[in-house]
Structure 1
Amino acid sequence: MFSNGFFVLIFVFITTSVSWSQNSEPEISEIFLLCKREKSVRWLRAYKLENGKCKTLYSKEGYLQVISSATYFSSCEGVLQSVQKNIEEGGFKCVNTAQVSVLELE
């Protein structure tokens, strides 16, 4: 009987420790990159929607385009990183911007 109780105590301790370590990093729900080359400016944004899905947006020469829509944020992040790589190979320098204000026009 003692060994079963001891096993349960150890199991609870291990699962609690694992859940605490997994929650120690804040969950990323939005990435915004501002990319510049001389006078040209482009930006990329990946963000989570209220339903848990995500979108990736790309703005080039004043035109905004949804370039991906997915179930998992990691998929949108992958698309963003792929486009970032392509435009940086074109001479743009991209900077991750922490705070973003978005104004939606209709």
Structure 2
Amino acid sequence: MKRDQITVENCRKALVALSIPVLFFSSVAKAELGEALVLCKHNKNVRTLRIEMGSDQKCKAIYTKQGIDQTIGSAQYLNSCTEIVAGVRKTLEEAKWSCRDVKEARTSSVSTVVE
């Protein structure tokens, strides 16, 4: 092979080696969220509301403030926990918080290949 062909081939291999981890991690690192997740923001403050199902088949409504989870209610039926979350969301929005439903979250990771 000529020198230019070797350089082009090495560049092609490097590009493929770098793109494979990005494609792999961006598709694999998809995190499905629980029954419900609401993200509320006001200035630089963030609050989350979510519903989790316990091993006893009861739901828990959880409020996160400054990184600390608080169970704000639990019930036998998911509908009841949904109402609890909706009530807290309404209260936050009336206090000028901006809330939105979050359906899924994605993370990605890039790794460096060293030859």
If the TM-score is normalised by the length of the shorter chain, which range does it land in?
0.5 to 0.7
Unaligned runs of 5+ in 2: 1-33, 107-115
* 2:53 aligned partner: 48
The one-letter amino acid paired with 2:65 is: K
* 2:37 aligned partner: 32
Measured against aligned partners, the alpha-carbon deviations of 1:42-76 in whole angstroms (never above 9, x if no partner) come to: 00001223432100000112321000111000010
Unaligned runs of 5+ in 1: 1-28, 102-106
**More contact order relative to length (CA 8 Å, sep ≥ 6):** 2
The one-letter amino acid paired with 1:43 is: T
Correspondence 1:1-106 to 2 at 5 A: 30-99=35-104
Distance in 2 between residues matched to 1:65 and 1:32, nearest whole Å: 14
Report the TM-score, using the length of structure 1 for normalisation: 0.62
Report the TM-score, using the length of structure 2 for normalisation: 0.58
Distance in 1 between residues matched to 2:90 and 2:50, nearest whole Å: 14
Query: Which aligned runs of 4 or more in structure 1 are off by greater than 6 angstroms?
Result: none
What percentage of residue pairs aligned between the two structures are identical? 37
Question: How many correspondences in the alignment?
Answer: 73
Superposed displacement of residue 100, structure 1:
5.2
Distance in 1 between residues matched to 2:85 and 2:105, nearest whole Å: 16
The RMSD of aligned alpha carbons is 1.8
